[in-house]
Amino acid sequence: MNRTPVAVMDLEEASYPQSPPFNPPAAFPEAPYPPARLDPGNRIYRGVRETLRLLGLDAERFGTPAWNPLGEHVRPGDHVVVKPNLVRHFHGDGLSTESLMTHGSVIRAVLDYVLIALGGRGKLTVGDSPLQYADFAACLRLTGVEAVIQEASRGSGFPIGTVDFRKERSEKRRGMIVTRIPNNGDPMGYKAVELGPASRFRGLDERCPLLRVTQYDPVTMSRSHNPGRHAYLFPGTVLDADVLINIPKLKTHRKAGITAAMKNLVGINGSKDWLPHHSFGSVAEGGDEYLARSIRKKLASALRDRLEAEAGRFTKRGLYLFNRVLHRSGRFIPFPDPYFEGSWYGNDTIWRTVHDLHKVLFFADKEGMVKETPQRRYFVLIDGVMAGEREGPMHPHPKKAGLLVASGSPLAADLACCRAMGFDERKLPLLNYAVGNGFHPSLETVAEIDLRSNLEKWRRLFSLRRGETLAFEPSDGWAGHVELQD
């Protein structure tokens, strides 16, 4: 059996260095350039280095100036796109953004090893598509990524670009999108990539009119997803990449259950109104927005659709307030179930979108044509140092997990993360329907994963009971439906 390596590095302390650009703690022999100064307290840089060593990457040369751990994935002359998880420039509950976005100290170490692998030739881009009302520049500044890129570019003499993949951004006031603004977007443009029958939405023609994503007009969705067509708007920079280096944040997720390697690909799109996140209506009506029929919920959803299509600000405000009244009416007349907007264990839409995005990433060529063979390489290193639990991804409660997880397989990495969180992957459609179901790179069973860790406990991860794991608290919509059983 060919086994897929996954490294689980336990730092035994969940803290980040606080001084960008997060220089290395020591003069490692393989360093791509001399840093302006060393940061002896930077445990994250050392942790990333040890994570790569655990994977056995370029093992024979470890500890020498020639060590090139990412050389298996990145070659001189490649265009490398690094995809962090930036989300938005503030935490929804006023907390630190450390549990919300990928920390710059993790990105710094990864960038240094990418620079080693490129050997001074090629192109390196850091890009993401955060929420429509997020301040991209502020996200780079708050995470320390801005300073990291400046230092890495200065020290190596190699230019590192940044791209905000969004075609459009918006302004949000008092909970409502009030205006949409064209964004500079990707300088390499965009391409509509059509999956057609290769999509996970194949055979669901009757559901196409119901596909939705919150705070977007459903008209664009109906044009990109309808019987016979399932298309995604991909930035030219992503399609041009020879390698994608994924650096997500480990969190619970209200719609998908968890977000790590796989769900982070939602950020490699040009416009989120091409990305189905849930389906309008109750399960009985062919949707998955909530469980049981509810006239009030259905009216609230219809109002939300109308609100997003409405141009007049006063009319929008009236629709928004009426929608809020309907939601709050549940305090006095309980709804049949507590679920809204597909934020529950019955969401049968978002996993299909995520799988489709991986199909495009791996198999679409630079022109956006889907091929039979993989078109680019991939590596993931997950920031689970300060992770997020409960109402992630936008309102995560900080969870001191102290983990770094890495692999060449997004599915294998997420399966390991799921179990470390104390969840059962068989209860998450995102993962359950990927194992043995044609997801690339394929896995037929978790037994094919070769767990490597500095702690013996994580090497037997798939035999642990929930009480032996980190026991994350799921979001309310998943509580009681995703946890491992002791």
pLDDT tens digits along 136-158: 999 999 999 999 999 999 999 99
Whether residue 287 has pLDDT greater than 70: yes
Q: 150 lies in which domain range?
A: 4-194+231-272+348-468
Dihedral sign for Cα atoms in the order 105, 107, 113, 116? negative
Q: What one-character-per-residue DSSP string does 111-153 give?
A: HHHHHHHHTT-SEEEEEE---TT--HHHHHHHHTHHHHHHHHH
Whether residue 314 has pLDDT greater than 90: no
Does any domain span residue 317? no
Q: What one-character-per-residue DSSP string does 347-379 give?
A: --SHHHHHHHHHHHHHHB-TTS-B-SS--SEEE
Cα–Cα distance measured from residue 137 to residue 25, given in angstroms and rounded to the nearest whole number: 27
Question: Three-state SS for 272?
Answer: helix
Both tokens of 314, joined, read: 């006063």
pLDDT tens digits along 403-413: 999 999 999 99
Does any domain span residue 165? yes
Mean pLDDT of 201-218: 96
Cα–Cα distance measured from residue 362 to residue 373, given in angstroms and rounded to the nearest whole number: 8
Does any domain span residue 300? no
For residue 177, the model assigns a pLDDT of 87
Whether residue 276 has pLDDT greater than 80: yes
Question: Three-state SS for 165?
Answer: coil
pLDDT tens digits along 373-393: 999 999 999 999 999 999 999
Mean pLDDT of 90-100: 96
Identify which has the larger pLDDT, 379 or 175. 379
pLDDT tens digits along 296-313: 999 999 999 998 887 788
Whether residue 93 has pLDDT greater than 90: yes
Does any domain span residue 246? yes
In sequence order, which residues have a C-beta less than 8 Å from that of residue 191 and are 6 or more positions away? 233, 234, 236, 239, 367, 368
Q: What is the residue-averaged pLDDT of the chain?
A: 97
Whether residue 55 has pLDDT greater than 80: yes
Mean pLDDT of 66-93: 97
Q: Where are the beta strands (DSSP E) in 287-412?
A: 377-391, 395-407
Q: How confident is the model at residue 2 (pLDDT cuts 50, 70, 90)?
A: confident
Does any domain span residue 266? yes
- HSE-CB for 253 with a 13 A CA cutoff: 24
Does any domain span residue 385? yes
Does any domain span residue 328? no
User: What's the total number of domains in the chain?
Assistant: 1
Whether residue 436 has pLDDT greater than 70: yes
Q: Please check whether residue 134 is in contact with residue 86, taking contact to mean a CB–CB distance below 8 angstroms.
A: yes
pTM for this structure? 0.98
Q: Please check whether residue 370 is in contact with residue 195, taking contact to mean a CB–CB distance below 8 angstroms.
A: yes
For residue 382, the model assigns a pLDDT of 99
Q: Please check whether residue 5 is in contact with residue 403, taking contact to mean a CB–CB distance below 8 angstroms.
A: no
Whether residue 1 has pLDDT greater than 70: no
Cα–Cα distance measured from residue 140 to residue 148, given in angstroms and rounded to the nearest whole number: 9
Mean pLDDT of 94-112: 98
For residue 181, the model assigns a pLDDT of 93
Tallying the residues shown for the chain, one arrives at 486
Q: What one-character-per-residue DSSP string does 152-221 give?
A: HHHHH---EEEEE--SEEEEEETTEEEEEEE----TT-EEEEE-GGGSTTTT-GGGGGGEE-TTS-HHHH
Q: Please check whether residue 282 is in contact with residue 290, taking contact to mean a CB–CB distance below 8 angstroms.
A: yes
Both tokens of 367, joined, read: 């022109």
Cα–Cα distance measured from residue 264 to residue 261, given in angstroms and rounded to the nearest whole number: 6
Does any domain span residue 444? yes
Mean pLDDT of 259-274: 98
For residue 175, the model assigns a pLDDT of 82
For residue 233, the model assigns a pLDDT of 98
**For 152-156, 173-177, 187-191, 378-382, which range has the lowest pLDDT when averaged over its residues?**
173-177
